[in-house]
C-alpha cells in the first residue's frame, strides 16, 4: 500500500462501486465543498441527490477555480495556494462544523459525518518542512517550493491526513445521547487518481460519506479502511501532527481572537 507502482496497479484493477440502492438519505442535508461543474465533488453531489437528500449545499469558491500544483502561486491570504486551499481552508471549515454536526446528531439520533478528501499521494512526500522551526511558515517560503513536480501537492494531502486524525481524536469522546455512539464521525478518503469528470471518483467520496460509520479518524481508499503511511503513525509523525495542529490553531486565533475552540470542539 502506498507505492506508486501499487497505485498504478490499483488504478487499473479497481472499479469504484456506486452506493447500494438501499442506502437512503431522506430528510438529511449534505454540504459538498469543491463541487464546481466537472469536478469530483460535483459528481458526488449527483449521486447523493439520487439517494433522497432533503437539502444539498454546493460550497464553491469559483466555478473555474483550480490550483497550479506545479508552480508557486499565492492565495489572497498570502499563503501558498496548495496549503491555503487543501489545508487551511479545510481546517478552518472543519473547526466551524462540529457544533452544527452535534446538533444534527442529537436531532436525528445518529452520527453526523465529516469527510475530508485526502489522497494516496500523502505516502509520497518527503515533508522536509517538518524540520523547520515553523512548518506553516516554511511552507509559505518560496525557497521551499520545487517547481515542476508534485511535492507540494503531495505534502498538502499529508497535512489533510494529519489534521483529520488530530480533529477526530478531539471529538471521538463525544457521544450521542444514550446510544453511546459517536456524535460526529470524521474520516479521510482517497478518491484515487482520475479525470475529474469520471463519476467513479465520486463513488469513492459518497462511499466514505455514507458508509464506514463505525470508524473514526480512518483513511478510506478503494472503498475500504486502509493503513496510512508509516510516517503518519510514527513517533515523528505524531509529533508533526501535534505541531501542525498547534500552529494552525494559533494562526486562526491570531486572525480571529474571538474563536472559541472550547465551544467548537466540546459538547
Tens digits of residue pLDDT in 188-222 = 999 986 654 456 788 999 999 999 988 999 999 99
- The answer to whether 188 touches 220, Cβ cutoff 8 Å, is yes
- Inform me whether the pLDDT recorded for 64 exceeds 50: no
Q: Is the pLDDT of residue 35 over 90?
A: no
Q: Quote the DSSP letter at residue 224.
A: E
pLDDT in tens, 135-152: 999 999 999 998 888 999
**Predicted pLDDT at 196:** 44
Name the pairing type of β-strands 224-226 and 219-221: antiparallel
The answer to whether residue 266 scores a pLDDT higher than 80 is: no
Closest CA to 129 of 116, 120, 140, 138: 138
pLDDT for the residue 8: 58
In the three-class reduction of DSSP (H, G, I as helix; E, B as strand; rest coil), residue 39 is classed as coil
Which of 8-12, 78-82, 97-101, 162-166 is the least confident region?
Answer: 8-12
Q: What is residue 257's predicted lDDT score, i.e. its pLDDT? A: 82
pLDDT at 267 over 60: no
For 259-266, which contacts have Cβ atoms below 8 Å and span 24 or more sequence positions?
259/95, 261/95, 263/99, 264/95, 264/96, 264/98, 264/99, 265/95, 265/98, 265/170, 265/171, 266/174
Gap between the Cα atoms of 186 and 91, Å rounded:
12
- Is the pLDDT at 18 greater than 90? The verdict is yes
Taking domain 4-265, whether its CATH number is 3.40.50.720 is answered by yes
Q: Which residues are catalytic?
A: 119, 153, 157
Is the entire prediction scored with pTM above 0.75?
A: yes
The rounded percent of the chain whose pLDDT value lies above 90 is 63
Q: Which residues contact 193 (CB under 8 A, 6 or more apart)?
A: 7, 11, 120
pLDDT of residue 209: 95
Give the C-alpha separation, 86 to 80, whole Å: 10
Tell me which residue has cell 522551526: 133
- 171-197: per-residue pLDDT in tens? 866 555 545 567 899 999 999 866 544
Mean pLDDT across the chain: 87
Amino acid at each position: 500500500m502506498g507505492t506508486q507502482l501499487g497505485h498504478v496497479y490499483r488504478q487499473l484493477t479497481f472499479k469504484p462501486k456506486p452506493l447500494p440502492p438501499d442506502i437512503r438519505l431522506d430528510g438529511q442535508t449534505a454540504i459538498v465543498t469543491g463541487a464546481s461543474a466537472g469536478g469530483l465533488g460535483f459528481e458526488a453531489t449527483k449521486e447523493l441527490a439520487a439517494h433522497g437528500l432533503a437539502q444539498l449545499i454546493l460550497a464553491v469558491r469559483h466555478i473555474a477555480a483550480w490550483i497550479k500544483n506545479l508552480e508557486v502561486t499565492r492565495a489572497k491570504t498570502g499563503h501558498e495556494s496548495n496549503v491555503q486551499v487543501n489545508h487551511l481552508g479545510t481546517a478552518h471549515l472543519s473547526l466551524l462544523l462540529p457544533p452544527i454536526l452535534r446538533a444534527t446528531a442529537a436531532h436525528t439520533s445518529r452520527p453526523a459525518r465529516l469527510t475530508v478528501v485526502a489522497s494516496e499521494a500523502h505516502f509520497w512526500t518527503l515533508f522536509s518542512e517538518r524540520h523547520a522551526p515553523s512548518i506553516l511558515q516554511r511552507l509559505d517560503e518560496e525557497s521551499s517550493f520545487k517547481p515542476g513536480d508534485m511535492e507540494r501537492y503531495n505534502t498538502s494531502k499529508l497535512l489533510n491526513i494529519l489534521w483529520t486524525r488530530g480533529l477526530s481524536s478531539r471529538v471521538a469522546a463525544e457521544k450521542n445521547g444514550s446510544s453511546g455512539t459517536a456524535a460526529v464521525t470524521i474520516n479521510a478518503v482517497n478518491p484515487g487518481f482520475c479525470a475529474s469528470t469520471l463519476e467513479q471518483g465520486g463513488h469513492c467520496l459518497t462511499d466514505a460519506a455514507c458508509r464506514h460509520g463505525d470508524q473514526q479518524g480512518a483513511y478510506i481508499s478503494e472503498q475500504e479502511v486502509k493503513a496510512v503511511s508509516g510516517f503518519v503513525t510514527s513517533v515523528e509523525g505524531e509529533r508533526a501532527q501535534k505541531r501542525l495542529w498547534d500552529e494552525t490553531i494559533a494562526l486562526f486565533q491570531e486572525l480571529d481572537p474571538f474563536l472559541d475552540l472550547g465551544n467548537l470542539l466540546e459538547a
